[in-house]
């Protein structure tokens, strides 16, 4: 099959007719000269138009090398990206973490707000509001066990939050018998 060629360059094709010796086609003057053209066979020039049936777009050698190089470069870059994302060949990093800190405060049961009560484990917003409302309605708590009088707080909850509760007995919080007699 003939190799495709660019339409910009006309191709020279030898005539299919049997060629006569070069000396038969030349005049005597031409035969006696030693020009390089004198030994060549006649050449037929093909026109620049390519028939529509055989028209194909072919890349030239330089274009093929460029496209091939770009495809290989893209494949290599994708492989490098995949390797970096997968963490292949990386060692795990050990992180020293501080131990989890437990609550390091104590709550004064007769002056704590509902927000402070919510900081304790097992006490939600509703229960914290109930504790503050009970303290305002029935008076201050005399001891940590008195917090158990609030609906929703049982002995298990008291035992759970006991390390973070303290009951200070101040004269302001506890009503004296003298003030009630007046």
What pLDDT score was predicted for residue 174?
A: 47
Mention every residue, 6+ apart, whose C-beta is less than 8 A from residue 152. Answer: 126, 127, 130
Q: What is the mean pLDDT of residues 121-140?
A: 93
What pLDDT score was predicted for residue 182?
A: 39
Of residues 141, 144, 136, 149, the one with CA closest to residue 161: 144
Q: For the segment 10-19, what is each residue's pLDDT rounded down to a tens digit?
A: 444 444 445 4
Indicate the pTM of the whole model: 0.40
Report how far apart, in Å, the C-alpha atoms of 179 and of each of 34, 137, 172, 176 are: 146, 18, 11, 6
Q: Which residue has the higher pLDDT, 1 or 151?
A: 151
Question: Would you state the structure tokens that stand for residue 164, as one six-digit string?
Answer: 């973070």
**Under CATH, which number does the domain 107-173 receive?**
1.10.150.320
Q: For the segment 39-76, what is each residue's pLDDT rounded down to a tens digit?
A: 556 666 555 665 555 556 777 888 899 999 999 999 99
Beta strands, E only, 29-122: 43-45, 107-108
């Amino acid at each position: 099959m003939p190799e495709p060629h660019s339409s910009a360059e006309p191709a020279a094709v030898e005539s299919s007719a049997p060629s006569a010796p070069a000396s038969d086609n030349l005049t005597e003057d031409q035969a006696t000269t030693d020009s390089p053209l004198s030994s060549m066979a006649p050449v037929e020039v093909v026109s620049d138009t390519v028939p529509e049936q055989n028209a194909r777009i072919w890349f030239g050698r330089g274009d093929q090398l460029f496209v091939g190089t770009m495809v290989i470069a893209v494949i290599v870059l994708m492989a490098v990206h995949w390797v970096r994302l997968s963490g292949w060949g990386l060692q795990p990093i050990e992180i020293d973490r501080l131990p989890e800190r437990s609550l390091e405060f104590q709550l004064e049961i007769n002056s704590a707000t509902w927000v402070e009560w919510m900081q304790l484990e097992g006490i939600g917003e509703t229960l914290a509001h109930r504790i503050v409302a009970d303290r305002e309605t029935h008076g201050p708590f005399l001891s940590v066990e008195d917090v158990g009088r609030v609906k929703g707080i049982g002995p298990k909850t008291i035992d759970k939050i006991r390390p973070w509760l303290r009951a200070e007995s101040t004269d302001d919080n506890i009503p004296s018998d003298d003030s009630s007699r007046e």
